[in-house]
Structure 1
Amino acid sequence: MASYTPTSSATKAGSKNGRTKKTAAKAGAKNGKKQSTAPVATYSGRGSQTIVRKSNDLIQNAMYSLSLSQQKLMLHIFAMIKPSDTELPRYEMSIYEFLKLCGVDPHNGSMYKQVKKNIEDIANAKVQWIRLAGTQKITMFRWLSSATIDEGTGKIVLTLDQSLKPHLIQLKEFYTTMNITYTLPMKSQYSLKIYELCKSYQNLYLTKKQKGEPLVWNIETLKKQVDCNAANWAHVRRTVLDKAKSEINGHTDIYFDYEVYEKDRQRVIAIAVTIEPVDKQVADDKLNEITKSMSSKVRSKKNKLTLAETGTLDDDPNVLTLEYVSVPETTIPYSYGATPEMLRQELEVKAELDKLARELTADEMEAVHTIIGAMVKMAGTPRGNDKMIDGGNAHFFQTMNNVIDNCGGLRRWFEGAATRYAAKVIPVARTKSAPLPYLSRAILEDLENYRLYVVGGMPEELEDEYPETPDIVETTDFVETDAEPVNQLEPDDAATKKEITAALLRYIDREALSARLTTGQMEAFEDILQMTAYFCRRNVKGKDDGMMEGKANMQFLDALNKVIARYESLTILFEAMAVMMDYDTYWKDLMKNPKIKNPKLVFQSEVEKALLMPSAVIGAYTARRDQNDSGRPARKEYNWTKVFEEE
């Protein structure tokens, strides 16, 4: 039998008046007992309930860190509270029923270990009240006062902390009601939190709308509410707001949108949000779609899938998610690589052909269709060491979906690239003995370097993140065949940090760099090398999902292998990065800038960007070097630190 109690020695109430519940909290933490009047909530009796009632304070002012699956589990538990309850229930269920609450295949015996880990994580997760302006008071408590797992009987008993009672029991005013079924398809923990916030602010939004006033969210407060440590506005927009907008509008009973409301120079301070209810019939149709999707997934996955060895329930392929929703700004699943005609239709949706036709010539539109045809073939074709997932080339889908995610679709990329493909790339491809490999390599590289091609230059939000993007640099011809170099970085090279460092040095002429670079540049090189070794093995939950092969992060290995394939070396890439991040200038500027609180984090972020877009880095560096050698004025240096000045 395993028992878990919160590690905190004191528990404080989260009610508005801040009164402490020391007696009840200590009793619950010590032996898990509740008052005799507390009801017992069982899965068989209440597991089908889907309506959650939470105080607005608990939604808007509580600050905590829970994974997506843990958030969903707590919502399921809260849904088992009835409006008639006068005390918090004691939850009793089997491990089998607990897994069903998590939306996980309960027939997988290996899940027991993860059940214990998730319950322990929830039991020890602190909840802290966001400090309001002008106050010094901070309230902290935990979700659970006790948790018991009996592997002998397969029974779980959970007891909520009494601090939650005023926020869940007998609510009369200032509370939010929501159907948790709408949250089941969500894949982002931020989407779920944004959805709860929207529901809690919806009445206020509608009231302000009638008065002609905006509902404004402060960005710093929002980051605390959703537990996001984003470095800048572009990160908040891309990973929090845009992802939430896509999932909320695609699956729920509300429509969410936002626009920048207030800026301090380039720093976004606040946004004005839109929270409109959708038509009741549309909302009901979405509920039915989610329910049907869940049922079909349970039937198809039963007894087939197992939990990943690492990570939490979020990593489990058995977690139920809704099928793909087709709109220009949503990414495309790997499975479309195995269905060419469906993928062609999806690419045409992402390209928004009707809008392109109004901007491009007939020849350019023909080039767009040629590119789409090549992309369809690339998506379902394994190349070299590329990993295949659900019938799709993982590297291709990751590269393409990155463009879709950052640009709201593919239209702006197609519009910017069409002229070049119509005038040069496609005509040259037709002269090759193997046209498709040539064209495919061109497309993949241009997708990787999409910032060079998006029409009209960089959008404002991307300019904040990638200032002064270099001009388009002509690239050398691509290799004509599918043959891969014999010697490349392999997943086994990343077994240890020492091994991946040695593998990288096989492709770097350190003596040549030492002869060409200054002392400050060589210092930068040594640190860049160590940081690269870290990225080649990095496994950050969520950020690197689907990119790991053993200990190797294939996203970075694949990017480096492309440089090796072209230059038979990594020397040029590391030389470019070392010059751009010359410690005699770059690091001194970081240290002197009072707005940069964590110079090391800035450095790490810039190394990561350079490794993921090596062709642009090398192209900009070699073009600038050639200009200097020819006596022409040097191109303006890339301002690596501008994006962080807003912090």
Structure 2
Amino acid sequence: MNLKTINTPPLDVIRKSNKLIEARYRLSVWEQRLILTLLINISKQDEDFKRYRIRVADFASQWQLESDNSLYEKVHEAADSLVGRTLQISDDPTISKTVSWLAYVEYVRGSGVVELEFHNALKPYLLQLKKHYTEYQLGHVVNFKNQYTIRIYELLKMEVFRYKSVGKFSKDFKYEDLRVLLAISKKEYLLFGDFKKRIIAPSVDEISTHTDLEITEVRYGKTGRKVTDITFCVTIRTADELPTLQLEMEEEPPKEQVHPIVERLISLGFAVETASKYKTRYGVKRIERNIAYTLAKQQEGVVKDIPAYLNMAIKEDMGGGWEVVKTKAAEEKTQQQTVSHKREEQAELAHLQKMADMAGVPLETLLPKKGKGGN
């Protein structure tokens, strides 16, 4: 078994067969993020799927998410639900193939790691792609929040290679066909106005804001009073226009020296952005005492998932009360040692006094002589 730990590659490129893009399926935003995280790690030379190990902290950084308790739960839930997710692919108009997305999923609670592997039935649609495929950069879809935006973006992106020299194109869909592609049941969005508000409008906004495509107009064709056709009018942004667009979502400020407490949080599984944010929000002292508290609890066998537990400890300042108790215990121990030392001194003095009385000499003659200072 090939097992590969996923780290962010230098260039996050997603490649899909057009048949896969036109397949019928529906995934949540979190499920799509896991699938795309796997896709960017497929090489053009790969002949078989590998089993990928994804660190949740890396996943959070890659998708610009805050690494907290809810993130771990959402990734776990998405990984579990993907086991049963299928898609329908039509290579032949008379045949519809139902294929599973994944062949293997493992998520060990507290590990902060999930292992995933694509189903072998998807090999023709993801591996050794030579023609009839579409590719794009992950950076264009990182900021998508609507679950349908990625699907619509990919369906439009398929057309770019035909019209790149022209710089614009239009893509027509039958309304009912688009619903089928997005796996929207007949009981959902019964009113076209709801479909437009919940699916079309947010997708148009996100695609135009974050990607290399700008949807300049959406036309709605009617048969009588009923909308039957949807046309997306799209402008392909040029290379000169892309840097400005990418600057808004990808450019990082000049690198400053990383604070030690930020490095410490990162080493304990926090995403870079979250670590920096926590340093500003909670302060170094609070973070330090909660790190100490979490590691102490780990030694006791209480903590299994350090990032999740430490995140909770910092937010609730669980280490604050623990530090007070610890300080009080240290003070009591010091006081006990002082009292014990005084008792020993008193006992020794009484013993010397008894010896002096028996010898008939002053006590001072038996006391240790103090050294003189100076030269």
TM-score normalized by the length of structure 2: 0.61
Partner residue, 2:242: 283
Answer yes or no: is the 8 Å Cα contact 1:41–1:80 preserved in 2.
no
TM-aligned CA distance change 1:185 to 1:296, over 3 Å: farther
Residue type of the partner of 2:157?
K
Corresponding position of 1:582: none
Counterpart amino acid of residue 120 in structure 1: D
| Structure-to-structure mapping, 1:335-346, within 5 angstroms | none
Instruction: Note if 1:52 corresponds to 2:17.
Output: no
Corresponding position: 1:219 with 2:169: no
Output one character per residue of 1:109-131: Cα deviation in whole Å (capped at 9) or x when no partner: 45443332121011221222369
- Who is 1:41 aligned against? 4
**Alignment match, 1:123:** 83
Question: How far did residue 53 of structure 1 move?
Answer: 0.6
Give the residue type in structure 1 aligned to 2:202: K
Q: 1:148 aligned to 102, 106, 121, which one?
A: 106
How far apart in 1 are the matches of 2:122 and 2:274?
A: 33
Residues 246, 95 of structure 1: alpha-carbon distance in 2 compared, 3 angstrom cutoff: closer
Aligned to 1:81: 42
Contact 1:73 1:101 in 2 (8 A): no
Q: Distance in 2 between matches of 1:260 and 1:213?
A: 13
How far apart, CA to CA, are the structure 1 residues paired with 2:113 and 2:190?
A: 43
Q: Give the direction of change, closer, same or farther, for the CA distance of 1:172–1:249 in structure 2 (3 Å limit).
A: same
1:180 aligns with 2:138: yes
Q: 2:114 is aligned with what amino acid?
A: I
- Given that 2:14 and 2:39 are in contact with CA atoms closer than 8 Å, whether structure 1 keeps it comes out as yes
Structure 1 residues 394-405: aligned runs within 5 Å = none
The TM-score, its normalising length taken from structure 1, stands at 0.37
What amino acid is the match of 1:127? L
The one-letter code matched in structure 2 to 1:223 is R
Q: For the structure 1 residues 225 and 302, does the alpha-carbon distance in structure 2 shift closer, same or farther, using more than 3 Å as the test?
A: farther
Q: In 2 relative to 1, CA 300–218 (structure 1 residues): closer, same or farther, beyond 3 Å? A: farther
Secondary structure at 1:281's aligned position in 2? coil
More strand, by proportion = 2
- Distance in 1 (CA, whole Å) between partners of 2:155 and 2:25 is 14
- How far off its partner does 1:178 sit? 0.3
Sequence identity, in percent? 24
CA RMSD of aligned residues (A): 3.3
Q: Does 1:164 align with 2:122?
A: yes
Aligned in 2, Cα 1:259/1:291: closer, same or farther, shift over 3 Å?
closer
Residues 19 and 91 in structure 2, CA contact (< 8 A), matched pair in contact too: no
SS at 2:240 equivalent: helix
CA–CA separation in structure 2 for the residues paired with 1:66 and 1:213: 27
Other structure's SS at 1:280 match: coil
Asked whether the 8 Å contact 2:164–2:236 carries over to 1, the reply is no
- Aligned partners of 2:202, 2:111: CA distance in 1, in Å? 41
Q: Displacement of 1:299 after TM fit?
A: 5.5
Give ranges in structure 1 of 5+ residues lacking alignment: 1-33, 306-317, 319-647
Q: Deviations over 1:529-570 (max 9, x none)?
A: xxxxxxxxxxxxxxxxxxxxxxxxxxxxxxxxxxxxxxxxxx
Q: Separation in 1 of the partners of 2:214 and 2:244? A: 15
Amino acid at match of 1:118: A
CA distance in 1 between partners of 2:233 and 2:40 (Å): 27
Question: One-letter code of the match for 2:49?
Answer: L
1:192 aligns with 2:150: yes
Matches of 1:173 and 1:64, distance apart in 2? 22
CA separation in 1, counterparts of 2:56 and 2:272?
Answer: 22
Instruction: Give 1:271's aligned amino acid.
Output: I
Specify the code of the residue in structure 2 equivalent to 1:115. Answer: V
1:505-529 Cα distance to aligned partner (Å, 9 max, x none): xxxxxxxxxxxxxxxxxxxxxxxxx
Q: Contact 2:60 / 2:66 at 8 angstroms: preserved in 1?
A: yes
Provide the rounded CA distance (Å) in 1 between the counterparts of 2:10 and 2:191.
Answer: 41
Structure 2: distance between partners of 1:205 and 1:232: 34
Matches within 5 A, 1:482-631: none
The aligned counterpart of 1:201 is: 159
Alignment deviations for residues 363-411 of structure 1 (CA, whole Å, 9 cap, x no partner): xxxxxxxxxxxxxxxxxxxxxxxxxxxxxxxxxxxxxxxxxxxxxxxxx
Report the Cα distance in structure 2 between the residues aligned to 1:116 and 1:198, rounded to whole angstroms.
31
Which whole-Å CA distance do the structure 2 matches of 1:196 and 1:276 have between them?
Answer: 15
Alignment match, 2:339: none
For the structure 1 residues 243 and 151, does the alpha-carbon distance in structure 2 shift closer, same or farther, using more than 3 Å as the test? Answer: closer
Query: Residue 215 of structure 2 corresponds to which residue in structure 1?
Result: 256
1:71 positional shift: 1.1
Q: Is the 8 A contact 1:260 1:268 kept in 2?
A: no
Q: Which residue of the partner structure matches residue 485 of structure 1?
A: none
Structure 2 residue ranges without an equivalent (≥5)? 254-270, 283-310, 312-375
1:124 partner amino acid: G
What's the offset of the Cα at 1:183? 0.8
Q: CA deviation at 1:198?
A: 0.8
SS in 2 for 1:145: strand
- Contact map agreement 1:93 1:156 (CA 8 A) in 2: yes
Contact 1:223–1:230 (8 Å) recurs in 2: no
CA 1:219–1:246: 2 relative to 1, 3 Å: same
Corresponding position: 1:66 with 2:22: no
